[in-house]
């Protein structure tokens, strides 16, 4: 084994491989930071160029693009309240308030360090736990998936802000919007036009909901401070701030590894899940959503932790963990490699080379992040009157570039108006988004489970995994009701005291 590892190290430690990884990380960070440009787009566009590269160099380039774009999404999320990717949506909640408070650099540093640690833990897990985690992932069928989605939807209570009722209303609207289009049996719902039959794209909804309301607010209300740039302030991340977030980083990384290893979940769900757990257990839980560094640490460690883990089912079983690893599966096949158990028998040297190369990519991610953070931080110095129109142009261009679809641009603009109305009514946007993302997975796995069991609800309680998620759901709902009851009694006593 050691001889094979040494040979793999020699195969990876070459200039072409390092250049490919460095270029992939840089390209991914830049593409991920542009609203509308996704990691899927970056990996797909790079795929034709891999025809001329060796198999190991090709896969390392695509993996580097994937990781760079996942981190890059946090940059625009923090600085301009526009998540570059869906997995960075949670980062907006605390990152943008920090940027508005003149701590954009501090938020970017926390996002970078959390991303690198999550990525590194994910890579180590890929090295040592690929087979056990892939075996566990195989035991997660539609009933277990449904229970996991049900538990994930309880996150709504954590990200509802000051009003749980408004959060639930927001989540219901998100679930309703997620039903637009064709369902798994071919029936069309709310398909008012030909374009709507294929449903609404996640990226236009995401960007419209978070980015455009600020622009509309500036046009409608014309606040006096729009011409002012945000203050830079102290952007250094202190050791005490890092130590205060280390638990959330480690927990988020583990959550990312476990959920990323399950095909079909991906980094977005892992980020929301980790954010919810961090808020639930942190002593600063009440400050989440108002500019809490721990919130950024939780979401960024989880979404980057899921990146490497999505490679686990791909390499061990030949099953792509998400859309991007689906594209990578094509790259493997192009170069004559067949992911799965046979890959470990016939191409063990290439597998070790990939593992070692992916470990190197964590270092490149840190270097690229530090180098670009300073430049991106200057974005916060641009006056809002100039910055917001530029954001609108970037959003429209990014959305149109995905599929050259005017319908997607229309969805973007409509969701901007919807987000503005929600802002006026103090309805939080985050529950809407998480319900929109998780809704289709929740419905599809429920219907698949009932189809398998011919309508028998007992299918949801046939494994210990289902029981585990069910118990967690009940526990969290109980704790939420208890918390809301205490808050109501506290407010009532305060009103009584003020009246007397």
| Cα–Cα dist 331/208, whole Å | 33
User: Which pLDDT score is estimated for 324?
Assistant: 75
Max mean pLDDT range (192-206, 385-399, 449-463): 449-463
pLDDT in tens, 96-127: 888 878 787 788 888 888 888 988 888 888 77
Which position has the higher pLDDT, 446 or 227? Answer: 446
Nearest CA-CA partner of 95 in 84, 117, 80, 115: 80
Q: How many CA atoms lie within 13 A of 430 on its CB side?
A: 30
| Cα–Cα dist 274/43, whole Å | 26
| Cα–Cα dist 142/153, whole Å | 16
pLDDT in tens, 301-352: 888 888 777 777 777 767 666 667 777 777 777 777 777 767 777 777 777 8
Helical packing angle, 429-453 and 202-210, nearest 10°? 150
| Cα–Cα dist 386/382, whole Å | 7
pLDDT in tens, 83-104: 766 777 778 888 888 887 878 7
The answer, yes or no, to whether residue 485 has pLDDT greater than 70, is yes
What six digits make up the tokens of 139? Answer: 């035991």
| Three-class DSSP category at 181 | strand
User: Which pLDDT score is estimated for 185?
Assistant: 80
Neighbouring CB atoms inside 10 A of 277's CB total 19
**Residue range 261-274: mean pLDDT, rounded:** 76
């Amino acid at each position: 084994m050691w001889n094979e590892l040494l040979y793999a190290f020699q195969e990876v430690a070459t200039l072409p491989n390092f250049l490919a990884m460095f270029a992939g990380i840089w390209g991914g960070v830049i593409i991920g930071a542009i609203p509308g440009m996704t990691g899927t787009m970056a990996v797909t566009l790079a795929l034709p160029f891999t025809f001329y590269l060796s198999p190991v160099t090709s896969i390392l380039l695509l993996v580097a693009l994937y990781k760079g774009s996942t981190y890059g999404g946090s940059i625009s999320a923090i600085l301009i309240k526009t998540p570059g990717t869906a997995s960075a949506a949670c980062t907006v909640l605390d990152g943008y308030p920090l940027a508005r408070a003149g701590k954009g650099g501090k938020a970017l540093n926390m996002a970078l360090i959390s991303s690198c640690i999550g990525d590194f833990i994910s890579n180590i897990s890929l090295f040592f736990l690929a087979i056990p985690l892939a075996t566990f992932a195989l035991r997660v069928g539609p009933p277990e998936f449904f229970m996991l989605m049900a538990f994930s939807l309880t996150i709504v209570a954590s990200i509802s802000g000051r009003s749980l009722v408004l959060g639930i209303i927001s989540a219901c609207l998100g679930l309703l919007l997620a039903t637009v289009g064709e369902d798994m049996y071919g029936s069309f719902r709310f398909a008012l036009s030909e374009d709507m039959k294929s449903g609404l794209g996640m990226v236009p909804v995401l960007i419209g909901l978070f980015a455009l309301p600020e622009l509309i607010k500036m046009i409608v209300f014309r606040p006096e401070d729009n011409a002012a740039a945000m203050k830079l302030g102290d952007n250094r991340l202190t050791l005490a701030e890092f130590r205060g977030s280390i638990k959330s980083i480690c927990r988020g990384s583990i959550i990312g590894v476990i959920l990323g290893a399950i095909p079909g979940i991906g980094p977005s769900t892992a980020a929301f899940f980790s954010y919810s757990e961090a808020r639930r257990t942190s002593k600063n839980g009440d400050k989440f959503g108002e500019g809490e560094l721990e919130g950024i640490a939780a979401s960024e460690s989880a979404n980057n932790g899921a990146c490497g883990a999505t490679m686990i089912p791909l390499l061990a079983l030949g099953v792509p963990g998400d859309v991007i690893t689906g594209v990578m599966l094509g790259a493997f096949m192009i170069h004559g490699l067949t992911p799965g158990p046979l890959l470990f028998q016939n191409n063990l040297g290439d597998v070790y080379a990939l593992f070692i190369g992916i470990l190197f990519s964590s270092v490149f991610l840190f270097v690229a992040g530090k180098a670009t953070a300073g430049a991106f931080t200057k974005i916060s110095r641009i006056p809002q009157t100039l910055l917001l129109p530029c954001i609108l142009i970037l959003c429209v261009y990014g959305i149109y570039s995905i599929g050259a679809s005017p319908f997607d641009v229309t969805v973007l603009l409509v969701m901007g108006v919807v987000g503005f109305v929600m802002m006026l009514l103090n309805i939080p946007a985050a529950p809407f988004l998480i319900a929109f993302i998780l809704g289709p997975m929740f419905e599809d796995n429920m219907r698949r489970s009932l189809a398998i069991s011919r309508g028998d609800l007992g299918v949801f309680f046939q494994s210990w995994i289902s029981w585990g998620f069910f118990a967690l759901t009940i526990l969290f709902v109980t704790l939420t009701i208890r918390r809301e009851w205490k808050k109501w009694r506290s407010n009532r006593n305060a009103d009584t005291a003020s009246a007397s």
